[in-house]
Amino acid sequence: MACLRPTARRTDRIVPVAQFRLDHFVPVTPLPMTGFALDPAAEGWQDQIVAHLRGLILSGALRPGSAVPSTRTLARDLGVARQTVVLAYARLAAEGYLDGRPGSATRVSEVIPEDLPNREEDQPTTVDRVQPSTAIRLSARGAATAALAATAARPGATILAPGIPALDAFPSRLWERLSAEVWRGRPAGLLGYAEPGGHRPLREAIVGYLGAMRGVACAAEQVIVTSGSQQAIALAAHLLADAGDAAWVEDPAYIAGRHALVSAGLRAVPVPVDAEGLEVERGAALEPRAQIALVTPSHQYPAGAVMSLRCRLALLAWAERAGAWVIEDDYDGEFRYVGRPLQPLAALSERSQRVIYVGTFSKVLAPGLRLGYLVLPPGLVGAFTAARALADRQPPGPEQAVLAEFIARGHLARHVRAMRTLYRTRRDALTDAVTLHAGGLLDVAVPTCGLHAVGYLRDRARSDTEIYDRVLRHGVQTPPLSAYYATREALRPGLLLGFASTPEDRIADAVRTLAALLQR
């Protein structure tokens, strides 16, 4: 595949279809002597240049005293502004790798910080040569964990990205005012060591919010504040099952949740999802002795199904019979656009003693807050509190205090109601744009809840992964549905189309860009 040249000026603007050209990236000439070209999909061109030249110097490919290309030449070859190369060279000179004198070529320093450990003349003689380890060795558990992906999405683009709320609608000024109030109180207690389970006023505020908004009745003692839902699932996996035990996971599934179970040593058993949610009978046939079932009943991620009451009761009955635990990830259950939000499994009080309820503020407010929570049966609180303390001691105090005030004063409930209206508008803008510009290419059902829709490819022979890679280069983040499956059974290719994070005036352009790529 030919190397690609990025445009001279980077932008997040989606190119309208009338202006759309697939030659925004054109072949470039590799850097002389190195075969190097910038990756147009990666961030930080200056960083890429610095890292590559530093590697060449340390490996001995560029010898002390040898000249490097002029900034003008390298900028022309890579298709970037000369200032980008000038700044990269300046960093390398400051670190001691390059020596640039006025009126002469920039050269590799005669003495560099690492003193070129790989140069032949620096190697010890046969008598005293020590054979170093050629690779860092991880434990078996560490190697398995490092190989796991946290998500199908990639950093960077947020246009049409699923699972991201409207960051442009975050109540910044209100948050700033509440934060100022907290700090004016000189909160020395919030800066020291505190309860591992979380700031007491925040836990009490969460109890009130859950009772009013989600129909979950609990006490503050049952709530443990976590660093998002990911940590909550990981804690449950480590505490409720032993290595080698089986755990049901939805298929398709939330990737990070499934991998949290696997990284704890559990054996993930993919259970198919249909229009009613997890197929409980199929799970019981596949692995009746599973210790955990990780589910998203209010809005299945990523397929979008809402678990029927029949399946909910069947799942709880199985958990009671098997002595298993149900981890309920209620990541965006507040956002339902038809009728009232459905009550979670944990609200079925007569059966909830086998349910671990996981909530997060990443979807209702912002993922950067890194705050979520667990609601536990009373008998598990002590063990989870101890494990929470060992994980990272405690959640950040000041942020918890601000959030506690935000919830207690009713701002969170008002924000959620406002976001329902906004997201319904953005959902309609997305589905209208798909009908208008990509109706013959994608099948999209109007979602009744959540922050994304699934666009199924009309042409089932096409690769949704390949399409995703191409669309991402143009600033649009539409992860492939196939990436969320553990099996390939009855798989229909598709793309996840987020609407919550994208302003209405950018949705149509993004869909036109997607349609133009699909038509190629």
Q: Classify residue 104 as left (phi > 0), alpha (psi -120 to 50) or beta.
A: beta
- Flag whether pLDDT at 285 surpasses 90: yes
Q: Which helix H or strand E contains 107, and what residues bound it?
A: strand 107-108
Residue type, 443: D
For residues 218 and 206, what is the distance between their CA atoms, to the nearest angstrom? 10
pLDDT reported for residue 352: 63
pLDDT reported for residue 200: 95
Q: Which two tokens stand for residue 447?
A: 């979602």
pLDDT reported for residue 113: 65
As a whole-number percent, the residues of the chain with pLDDT over 70 amount to: 85
Would you tell me how many other CB atoms lie within 10 Å of the CB of residue 63? 13
DSSP state of 476: B
- Flag whether pLDDT at 115 surpasses 60: no
Compute the mean pLDDT over every residue in the chain, rounded to the nearest whole number.
Answer: 85
Place of tokens 């981890």: 327
Q: What are phi and psi of 107, to 5 degrees?
A: -130, 160
The pLDDT tens digits of the residues spanning 329-382 come to 999 999 999 877 778 999 886 656 899 999 999 999 999 999 999 999 999 999
- Flag whether pLDDT at 385 surpasses 60: yes
pLDDT reported for residue 39: 79
How does 245-270 read in b/e, with b if 16+ C-beta sit within 10 Å? bbbbbbbbbbbbbbbbbbbbbbebbb
Residue 58 confidence class, pLDDT cut points 50, 70, 90: confident
DSSP state of 336: B
- Between 129 and 497, the more confident residue is 497
pLDDT reported for residue 239: 96
pTM of the model: 0.73
Note whether 3 and 26 are within 8 A (CB): no
pLDDT reported for residue 43: 66
SS3 per residue for 141-190: HHHHHHCCCCCCCCCCCCECCCCCCCHHHCCHHHHHHHHHHHHHCCCHHH
* Cis ω for the linkage preceding 503 (within 30 of 0): no
- Between 6 and 42, the more confident residue is 42
Residue 114 confidence class, pLDDT cut points 50, 70, 90: low
Mean pLDDT, rounded, for 110-127: 51
SS3 per residue for 345-404: HHHCHHHHHHEEEEEECCCCCCHHHCCEEEECCHHHHHHHHHHHHHHHCCCCHHHHHHHH
Residue 30 confidence class, pLDDT cut points 50, 70, 90: very low
Note whether 447 and 453 are within 8 A (CB): yes
For residues 334 and 295, what is the distance between their CA atoms, to the nearest angstrom? 16
pLDDT reported for residue 16: 39
- Flag whether pLDDT at 134 surpasses 80: no
Whole-angstrom distance between the N-terminal and C-terminal Cα of the chain?
17
Note whether 510 and 442 are within 8 A (CB): no
- Flag whether pLDDT at 27 surpasses 60: no
The pLDDT tens digits of the residues spanning 316-336 come to 999 999 999 999 999 999 999
- Flag whether pLDDT at 433 surpasses 70: yes
Alpha-carbon torsion angle 210, 373, 254, 501, nearest 10: 70
Least confidently predicted of 124-128, 174-178, 241-245: 124-128
The pLDDT tens digits of the residues spanning 192-222 come to 888 999 999 999 999 999 999 999 999 999 9
Strand-pairing partners, residue 511, are none
pLDDT reported for residue 238: 95
CA-CA distances (angstroms) from residue 206 to 48, 150, 174, 370, 474? 44, 27, 19, 15, 40
pLDDT reported for residue 26: 35
pLDDT reported for residue 192: 83
Contacts 24+ apart (CB under 8 A), 140-148: 141/263, 141/265, 144/262, 144/263, 145/263, 148/259, 148/262, 148/263
- Flag whether pLDDT at 276 surpasses 90: yes
Residue 45 confidence class, pLDDT cut points 50, 70, 90: confident
* Cis ω for the linkage preceding 302 (within 30 of 0): yes
Would you tell me how many other CB atoms lie within 10 Å of the CB of residue 72? 11
Q: Which two tokens stand for residue 307?
A: 């678990």
- Flag whether pLDDT at 12 surpasses 90: no
Opening angle at CA 222, ends 219 and 226, nearest 5 = 125
Note whether 89 and 67 are within 8 A (CB): no
Residue 76 confidence class, pLDDT cut points 50, 70, 90: confident
Mean pLDDT, rounded, for 123-138: 52
Least confidently predicted of 135-139, 174-178, 312-316: 135-139
Burial class (CB in 10 A: 0-12, 13-18, 19+), 103: exposed
pLDDT reported for residue 8: 41
- Between 114 and 307, the more confident residue is 307
Spell out the domains of the chain, with CATH numbers in brackets: 1-132 (1.10.10.10), 152-520 (3.40.640.10)
Residue 14 confidence class, pLDDT cut points 50, 70, 90: very low
